[in-house]
A and B are shown apart, each in its own frame.
Chain A
Amino acid sequence: MKKNILRTLLFVSVLLLVIYALQYAIDAIYKKRAKDKYALVYNHQADPDMMIYGASTALKEFDTHIIKNITGYSCYNMGYDGMFFLQYYPTAKEHLSYQKNCKMVIIVCNVFLGKDWVIMAPNFFYAYYNNNTLYNSFREIMPREMTLARYLPGYKLTLLNKAFYREIAYPLKSIDTNYGYEPILESGNDFKDVKPFREPCDSSVVSKLKSLLNDISNSGLKAVLVMTPIYEKGHELILNADSIISVYSTLADTSRNIYFLDYSKDSLSKSAQYFYTYTHLNKKGSELFSAALSTDLLRIKARR
């Protein structure tokens, strides 16, 4: 029996070593090859004047070209579909830790301030689980999985669809053309079947957002919280939209260069042709919105 136990231990130890070595090699190649917008931050290669963080509202509505043309700030749009605050928080922290040129950080608010339960597009981040800020933040979303992913060789591969191999073979180049902005052309009315609902607001998420705003401010940068337009019928669907927006507004502190811009009831909100869902602008809407936002950002830029 003793012999069997020893043999098993040896088998498992060698296996873990082999997996660890392979995983380490793939991580290293990924870090070297990947050119997506998150890799640029975690590899300390992105340092524009302005960073835009958020979920799909950021990704689809913040036209980096228009913003750059009006404000004169180069910018990266770090938005991603379904990526809630807890997931982009570590990316923002990582950027703050090395940036030299940044002047303004935009956090794109939406009404979804609850605690998320799944990590979006984990392939983008899988090589960086050893980054403590990322790990701790992701752990709040998926505690068991992230602990195992960090400490058990090979486990993290079971959380992925292996799209990172594609990134190694043919690195994405979208950041070079649109700087992370991905608009949607069509307009839609998928909100017709949506029933009114209340969106949870998690106090731990709010306090983490507050701490990020403080960090941005303490780094000498301007932090701007932006509430994007909601189609007017959407206000009837999200029963507690106003109370969530008021939570964001209390975080603003202009004396510390923390601003809040609320476009939730902007004039764009009245027209369905600018939306593809009740909370998302389409390309046409996003261009008008980006232009209006940029004018307001210019005013913030001018403030000391």
Chain B
Amino acid sequence: MYLIPVYILILLFTIIIDYIAGRVIESAEGGKRKLFLIISLVANIGILAFFKYYNFFAENVNQLFHLTNIHINITLLNIILPIGLSFHTFQAMSYTIEVYRGNQKAERHLGVYALYVMFYPQLVAGPIERPQNILHQFHEVKRFNFDNCKEGLKLILWGFFKKIVIADRLAIVVNNVYKSPDYFTGPALLITVIFFTFQLYCDFSGYSDIALGTAKVMGYDLMINFNLPFSSKSVSEFWRRWHISLSTWLNDYLFTPTITALRNWGKSAVAFGVLVTFFICGFWHGAAWKYVVFGSVHGVAIVYEFYTRKKRKKLFDKLPKWINNRLSTLLTVSYFVWSAIFFRAKDIRQALYVMRHLFSGWQKTLSYGGIKEMVTALGGNDTVYGTFNIAIGFLSIILLELIQTKIKDNNPASVIKGWPKVMRWGFYYFLIIAILFVGTYDYQEFIYFQF
């Protein structure tokens, strides 16, 4: 992520285009409405495509030409992705689509509309807001409210705990292994892929909590972006709980229109819609095939779940409910852990290498020497550092899950509701002290800042 002042002009350009488009769409009738919507969408997608995907397409086309012995070389451009482009482009598109659908009145005040696109807590990495949820809040007079401030600060604290104590600690091990995975055996790779899943979750949901908390302090309510995804019993449920603002965006503006348009296809329309949606979902994350695979494998899993729902229900209903639930959750989370290898690996080749070697070299860990060797390697040739990071990593994951399961309505205070005041204060002191005394302060950017 880079901040290049001149890129503000791109943001201003899309703001003005979409502001005008909203006003024109609202006042126009018939085919003109659609035309103005298309102009707005083309402008937004065009900017996103140019800055985010131009070099990717150019590289792939060049490779294709090379393979087919065509001597044409498309010039690559030295482009840097503007901060938060994928997020605010989607948010801006959501506005014009909702105005077009008649679910949202066009915003009259340019400043308020600009604030909708550039609201700083969520500008860089979401949540991707909907105009119906946030625009009207910008017209309300906000006064200092102690309870809002308190609730917001609690969310910010919880977000920092997830980011600084958990995600960045796990990142030390993960970065070390992904730098050269061939140096590590199966057990170390397995620890790493589990760590990365929690790193990704804590990093991104931590950012979302900080964004929600910051907005709350100022009196604004943003949409919840995560809702206990690791308690999901299916991949489709997982995506209703993970990065909710993106998955609902894709559902509202891509999946639903696709299956509506293809309703004559019957069940195949759903399968096709899911596959297209998750292909785009993966591609939204980044201009690389690994992200496309990451999204697509989830699409395939959901299609599989869709076609086999009855059979699986019949099979799993034979099991006691508690086993059924836990097994479903375990399978779902394992699938995500596996798919996240594509997300983190340098490229598909490295991801496949990690997958192939996940279950090799386990015999070594049967001895104390083997375990020590693994821990030392994970600590970058330092046994003490490796032990420290792995211990803190696993402890914080366990702690996270213990706390998470008790959180209701994305409010960390719900964990300690009903506790005596001393215990409640003790809980917050524990979080702050952990951030200070165990937190990692080496420079670690939020993962989703790159999108």
Seen from chain A, the residues whose Cβ lies within 8 Å of a Cβ on chain B are: 1, 4, 11, 14-15, 18-19, 22, 26, 154, 157-162, 165-166, 169-170
Contact = CB atoms under 8 A, between A and B. Distances in A.
B437 to A, nearest CB: 6
The residue among A4, A157, A170 with the most chain B CB atoms within 10 A of its own CB is A157
Nearest to A154: B436
A22 B437 contact: yes
Contacts of A162: 437-438, 440
Among all A-B residue pairs, the 5 with the closest Cβ atoms: A154-B436, A157-B436, A4-B146, A158-B441, A166-B384
A15 B432 CA distance: 9
Contact of A18 (B384, B433, B440, B441): B433
A154 B434 CA distance: 11
Contacts of B440: 161-162
A154 B435 CA distance: 10
A22 to B, nearest CB: 7
B118 to A, nearest CB: 28
Contacts of B385: 166
Contact of A22 (B146, B425, B433, B439): B433
Contacts of A166: 382, 384-385, 388
B429 interface: yes
Contacts of B388: 165-166
Contacts of B442: 161
Given A154-B432, A162-B438, 11 more contacts: A11-B428, A14-B425, A19-B432, A22-B433, A157-B436, A157-B437, A157-B441, A158-B436, A165-B388, A166-B384, A166-B385
A18 B146 contact: no
Contacts of B428: 11
Given A11-B425, A169-B384, A19 B146 contact: no
7 contacts: A14-B425, A22-B433, A22-B437, A154-B432, A158-B436, A162-B438, A165-B388
A60 B120 CA distance: 48
Nearest to B385: A166
Interface SS, B side: helix
A158 B428 CA distance: 18
A83 to B, nearest CB: 19
Nearest to B144: A1
Contacts of B438: 162
Contacts of A165: 388
Contacts of A169: 384
B263 to A, nearest CB: 56
B398 to A, nearest CB: 20
The residue among B382, B428, B437, B442 with the most chain A CB atoms within 10 A of its own CB is B437
B433 A19 contact: yes
Contacts of B433: 18-19, 22
Contacts of B425: 11, 14
Given A19-B433, A19-B436, A170 B384 contact: yes
A97 to B, nearest CB: 31
Interface string B386-420: 00100000000000000000000000000000000
A159 B439 CA distance: 11
Nearest to A1: B146
Contacts of A15: 429, 432
Interface string B357-395: 000000000000000000000000010110010000000
Contacts of B441: 157-161
A158 B432 CA distance: 12
B78 to A, nearest CB: 20
A18 B426 CA distance: 11
Interface in B343-359: none
A162 B439 CA distance: 8
A18 B442 CA distance: 25
A11 B439 CA distance: 21
A220 to B, nearest CB: 43
A165 B442 CA distance: 16
A4 to B, nearest CB: 5
B287 to A, nearest CB: 30
A146 B432 CA distance: 21
A105 to B, nearest CB: 33
B148 to A, nearest CB: 12
Nearest to A156: B436
Contacts of A18: 429, 433
Nearest to A153: B436
Contacts of A158: 436, 439, 441
The residue among A14, A159, A162 with the most chain B CB atoms within 10 A of its own CB is A162
A192 to B, nearest CB: 25
A155 to B, nearest CB: 8
A254 to B, nearest CB: 46
Nearest to B421: A7
A228 to B, nearest CB: 29
Contacts of A22: 433, 437
B416 to A, nearest CB: 14
A157 B434 CA distance: 11
A154 B382 CA distance: 27
A12 to B, nearest CB: 10
A291 B442 CA distance: 40
A26 B440 CA distance: 17
Nearest to B392: A162
The residue among B428, B429, B436 with the most chain A CB atoms within 10 A of its own CB is B436
A40 B428 CA distance: 37
A167 to B, nearest CB: 10
Nearest to B425: A11
A18 B433 CA distance: 9
Contacts of A1: 146
A157 B146 CA distance: 29
B436 to A, nearest CB: 4
Contacts of B437: 22, 26, 157, 162
A4 B145 CA distance: 11
